[in-house]
Structure 1
Amino acid sequence: MTRLKARQQLHRAAEADDRDPATGQLLADQLRRWKLTKGQVKHGSGLNNARRATERWLAPIKPHLQHRAAASSAGTSLETNLQHITVTLATWDAVWELEEAMTEVAMKRLGRAKQLVVFFGAASTGT
């Protein structure tokens, strides 16, 4: 398909509507106006989708990250950092007991697969 035919098709599509009613994404008019190829639009969409996926993944651990950031030595007081260390040390054993219990449950449910994951995970981190 020649470039002229492609532009004509984009122009016809742009006259119909600017956005896709199902997804709300920009359609042909914006492609023509910004002179983006379909590949560029797809690439940009992939980056946006990756950003959204990362945000979804980080959402459950965001409070933990914020807690650690608040207790870091960068821009915070020594007292706050010491308080964080004290809380971490006080709860350390309980956290690992819970992890061991969760591992046992997972091994019963998944068989030996979990044990291999733990082994290879530890091997990759060097512990």
Structure 2
Amino acid sequence: MVIFGRGYHFEHWKNCTWLQKVDLRYWGDLDTHGFRILDQFRMIFPHTTSFLMDRNTLMQHEISWGDEPKPTTVELARLTPDEAVLYDDLRFNRIRRNLRLEQEFIRFGKIEEAVACI
């Protein structure tokens, strides 16, 4: 099952206790807010695993990079070590200033591969 989210607006899912008993995957934009949303989602569903939010995916889609208009720089406590390193690279502009890869620009073949591995 796929649940379409609306950015930070997922509070209504917290009462769905059955979601605590299933594997959850999160896929958001590869930017600072995508990681912040993941971090907040894990406050409710700590067992959530991200996919297509890694350095390889980001670097493979350089042609589709855009600009994040208002990046966040807050500390995020619920990221995995790899996610935290990439988040820091984004928020401290280590790769490029205000870098964003919107999920809509990830190649469909890459999405198919990732979903097939779930």
Shorter-normalised TM-score: what interval? Answer: under 0.3
Q: Structure with the greater relative contact order (CA < 8 A, sep ≥ 6): 1 or 2?
A: 2
Structure exhibiting the larger radius of gyration computed from Cα positions:
1
Q: TM-score, normalised by structure 1?
A: 0.20
Which structure dedicates a bigger proportion of its chain to helix? 1
Q: TM-score, normalised by structure 2?
A: 0.21
Which structure dedicates a bigger proportion of its chain to strand? 2
